[in-house]
Amino acid sequence: MPANSETGIRPGAIGDRPTMEETLDTAEKPAASRTPRFDLESQGMRHLGTVHWNLTAPYLYEHAVRRQEGELGFGGSFVANTGKHTGRSPRDKYIVNEPGTKDTVWWGDINQAIDPERFDGLHQRMLAYLQGRELFVQDLYAGADPEYRLPVRVVSDHAWHSLFSRNMFIRPPESELEDFEPAFTILHAPNFLAIPELDRIRSETFILVNFASRLVLIGGTRYAGEIKKSVFGYLNFVLPTRDVLPMHCSANVGPKGDCAIFFGLSGTGKTTLSADGSRTLIGDDEHGWSPRGIFNFEGGCYAKVINLSPTAEPEIYATITRFGTVLENVVLDPVTRMPDVDDSSLTENTRACYPLDFIPNADPHSLAPHPKNVIMLTCDAFGVMPPIAKLSAEQAMYHFLSGYTAQVAGTEVGLGKEPRAVFSTCFGAPFMPRHPSEYARMLGERIARYKADCWLVNTGWSGGAYGVGKRMAIAHTRALLRAALDGSLAKAPMRQDGNFGFLVPESCPEIPGNVLDPRGTWSDGRAYDEVAHSLRGRFENNFEKFEPFVGSEVKRAAIRAAA
C-alpha cells in the first residue's frame, strides 16, 4: 500500500513500525550480502545470529548506539567505557606450546605456556557462546607493504570494537573483500569468561594465542588494545622468518627523504616527538624493517590522551572531536559532552583511536626508505643521563636489549617517592614472543648495513632526580633531534661519558652548554656520582640474562657498575 503523501507513512503502519535493528539490516543489505567466499562457517562457526561484514563507520555507530555500548561525544567521537580493565592484562596472556613454538618462543613470565587441549576446550566453549549472537566482522590488512602484508579477520560481538579494528588496521579496497581469506583470526567476546579452575589459568580474563592454528581468543576484557597488540605479537613471531625486523617504534621522513625511527616505552615521547610538522609521519607505534625499507603495520593511531595539549599536540587533539574516532575511558562534560582530557578519574590510560589520515602530515602509503637515524628514547627520572648521546651499533644493540626508562610516583599504583627503573627489552617486552637476542641481532645487522646513526635521547629529568630536578625542556629535546636528523650533530666534538660509555656532544646550536653535561646541572656533584653508580648497577643486573646470547663486542659495550 502506498505511503500517505503528506506523512510518508503507510496506512496502518504505526503499530507495526520496523525496529531500529530491522531498519539497519534493511539499509545495509547491499553491504551485508558481500559475504566473502571464505566465511565464518569455513572457520567452524555455525548457528550464528546476524553477521555484519565490513560495515563502515556510520553503520557501526548506529549499531553501537542501539546496543548501548557507549555514547557520542561533542563533535562526533564515539566514547566507550571499558570497565575494570582499563589497560592490557599481560598476566592473562598465554601462547599455545606446540611443536612450532616449543623451541622458538621465549618462554617465561612474559610468554606463558598453555597446552593445546586447554586452548581447544576454551575455543569450543567460546564457539558455543557465540551461537545465536549478532556478530561484527572486519577483514583487514596488517602491513602497508603488500610484499609482507598479513590478512587479518576480527570477529567481535561488540560493534564499537569492530569500529576500533577498522580504524586501527588497513582497510582493503572493496574489490578484494570477496576473495579475502585471513591468515590470522581474532575471536573477541568481552563478556565471555573463562573458568579458572577448569581452564587452569589465572583468572576469568584470557588472551590465548595459537600460532599453529593462526587464532587468538580474547575474553573477559573490553579493553580494545588487546586486539591491536594481538596482531603485533603475531607479526613479531612470523616476520623474522621473512627477514623483517618487527619494531615497537614510530617513524617519520624529512623533506629530503631521510627516515628516522623512534623506539620508546610509554611516557618517553615517542608519539609526540615523531609528530613533527616539518616531517611526514609514517606511523606512531608499530613498523617493520624489511630489505625494502620501513613500513607501518597499521592504518590508524592509538594515542594516549591524558593531559593532551591543544597547543603542543594540535593534530592529535583535533581527533578527539571527530566523527570516526573511538575514545576509551575519556570522561565527557555532562552538559556539553566535550571530552575532558585532564580527567583521570577512570584511568590515566585514556586513549583515542583514529584512522591515520586524520593526521594532516601522514603519508597515505605508510612506506619509507631505510632509516638514516635510529632514536632510542628514555625518560630517566634519576636525572643522570645526558639529553642526547651517540651510540655505536654495539651500544645500540645493548640499549635495545635493555629497553630502559624510569617511572615516577603517580604514574602507577604502588610506586613510592623514589623513581623506579624499568627495563622492557626491545622497548616492548610484552609483545615479543621470540628471544630478544633475535630481534637485537637483526637490528645490529641493519644498522651496520645501512650505516644508520644511532642516538639515545633522555626526555626525563636534569639537575636532580624526580622531585628535585626539572623535566627536560621539550624545546631543547626538539632542537637536539633536529641537529641529529640533519646530520650536523654527528659532526660535533664529542666526549665519552665516564659513567655510561657513550659519546656526548659538547655543543649544539640553540642549546645552553651546561644542558649537555648532566653532572654539571646538579648542585651536588657527589650526589650525582652516587645516583649514576646506582643506575649503572641496575643496568648490569638487568643485562645478566642476555649476556649468554650476545657476542663479545656487545658485551664490551655493556654498562658495568664498576666502570
How many whole angstroms separate alpha carbon 455 and alpha carbon 385?
Answer: 13
Q: Please count the helices (runs of H) and the strands (runs of E) in the chain.
A: 15, 30
Catalytic residue among 123, 125, 229, 390: 229
Three-class DSSP labels, 84-135: CCCCCCHHHEEEECCCCCCCCCCCCCCCEEECHHHHHHHHHHHHHHHCCCCE
CB burial of 341-364 (b: ≥16 within 10 Å; e: otherwise) equals: beeeeebbbbbbbbbbebbeebbe
What is the Rg, in whole angstroms, of the alpha carbon atoms belonging to the chain? Answer: 25
Which amino acid, 383?
A: G
Catalytic residue among 88, 287, 441, 446: 88
Quick check: helix, strand or coil at residue 283? strand
How many whole angstroms separate alpha carbon 433 and alpha carbon 430?
Answer: 8
What 42-46 contacts at long range (C-beta under 8 Å, 24+ apart), as own/partner pairs, is: 43/185, 44/127, 45/127, 45/130, 45/155, 46/131
Q: Phi, psi (5° rounding) for residue 439?
A: -70, -40
Residue 143: name the closest of 176, 172, 164 by CA. Answer: 172
Strands, E, within 284-349: which ranges? Answer: 286-290, 293-296, 300-304, 326-328, 331-332, 339-340
Are 557 and 392 in contact by the 8 Å Cβ rule? The answer is: yes
Find all residues with CB under 8 Å of 323, minimum gap 6, and list them.
57, 61, 75, 76, 77
Catalytic residue among 85, 270, 372, 434: 270
Q: Provide the Cα torsion 503, 509, 513, 515; round to 10°.
A: -70
Catalytic residue among 266, 321, 344, 411: 266
Catalytic residue among 125, 351, 370, 372: 351
Answer yes or no: 88 catalytic.
yes
- Which run of H or E residues covers position 29? helix 29-32
Answer yes or no: 449 catalytic.
no
Are 73 and 354 in contact by the 8 Å Cβ rule? The answer is: no
Answer yes or no: 271 catalytic.
yes
Answer yes or no: 285 catalytic.
yes
Catalytic residue among 85, 153, 222, 248: 248
Catalytic residue among 258, 285, 380, 453: 285
Are 87 and 347 in contact by the 8 Å Cβ rule? The answer is: yes
Catalytic residue among 271, 392, 425, 462: 271
Active-site residue list? 88, 229, 248, 266, 270-271, 285, 351
